[in-house]
Amino acid sequence: MSFPSQAEEQALHERVLKKNESLASQDVFRVFMAPITRVLCRNRRKTKEEAHDAVCDVLMEYLENPERYLAHKSKLSSYLTRNAEMQVRDMYRSQEARQRREREFGEAIELRATAPNRSLEIIVEARHLVGQLEQAIQEQDRAALGLILQGERSTDALAKAMNLPQLSEKELRREVKRNRDRLMKTLGRIGKEE
């Protein structure tokens, strides 16, 4: 099925503009649906269903606002086909964006997730290590170690957790470093033993 002549298109457009002829919208579908779908399938390599959805949306948009089509600028069929091509492109872009979002989300999950058999081993190892740490590290050092493992770098915060007395800034920094090194050395030793 091919596009109608310009005179036929114009006559149909005038019927649509009046908005008082119920069958005019049905005729727009009868006249344009098949040829525009064919153009989309050929030029854009879309499936028939994708093309149908795009053409439907464009025809509905035209029927709702027929005055947007300016007859002196182009043929109605050209106007509708161009809009349908843009609609297909928009649909393709939003589909691609959705797929990219889903892929990125999937990759993030994949990176963070642990294989089911491995997670059980990790739980056992962690429990064993905690037992070792409790034995190797004294009660007063545990708070400081907790902060260090959480990435705390503030001298004051670490000094408080280490129960250091009032010292000058320079001495406090040196004491915090000394205690920190000692704890890290202990951790390193436990790690080597394992």
Partner 1 sequence: MSNPDWLERAALRAQRASWTLAYTLERYRQLEDRTEAELARDLGCTREVLYWLCLCRKPEGPDFDTQVTAITERHEVDLRALVDVIRHVEIVDALSERVADSNGEERPIQMAARDRVPGEKTSP
* Interaction site with partner 1 (CB under 8 A): 19-26, 29, 33-34, 37, 48-49, 52-53, 55-57, 59-60, 63-64
- Of 53 and 175, nearer to partner 1 (C-beta) is 53
DSSP state of 114: -
Contact in structure between 58 and 84 (CB atoms under 8 Å): yes
| Closest distance to partner 1 from the beta carbon of 106 (Å) | 31
- Of 14 and 64, nearer to partner 1 (C-beta) is 64
Token pair of 12 as six digits: 């149909």
| Closest distance to partner 1 from the beta carbon of 66 (Å) | 11
58 burial (CB, 10 Å; 0-12 / 13-18 / 19+) is: buried
| Closest distance to partner 1 from the beta carbon of 121 (Å) | 53
CA 11 vs CA 24, 50, 65, 173: distances in Å: 10, 29, 17, 89
| Closest distance to partner 1 from the beta carbon of 150 (Å) | 51
Contact in structure between 151 and 143 (CB atoms under 8 Å): no
| Closest distance to partner 1 from the beta carbon of 25 (Å) | 5
- Of 35 and 160, nearer to partner 1 (C-beta) is 35
- Of 32 and 79, nearer to partner 1 (C-beta) is 32
| Closest distance to partner 1 from the beta carbon of 103 (Å) | 29
Instruction: Centre a 10 Å sphere on the Cβ of residue 28 and count the other Cβ atoms it contains.
Output: 22
- Report CA torsion sign: 142, 143, 149, 154: negative
- Of 32 and 159, nearer to partner 1 (C-beta) is 32
How far apart CA 68 and CA 140 sit, in angstroms, is 78
How far apart CA 38 and CA 48 sit, in angstroms, is 8
- Of 25 and 179, nearer to partner 1 (C-beta) is 25
How far apart CA 106 and CA 127 sit, in angstroms, is 30
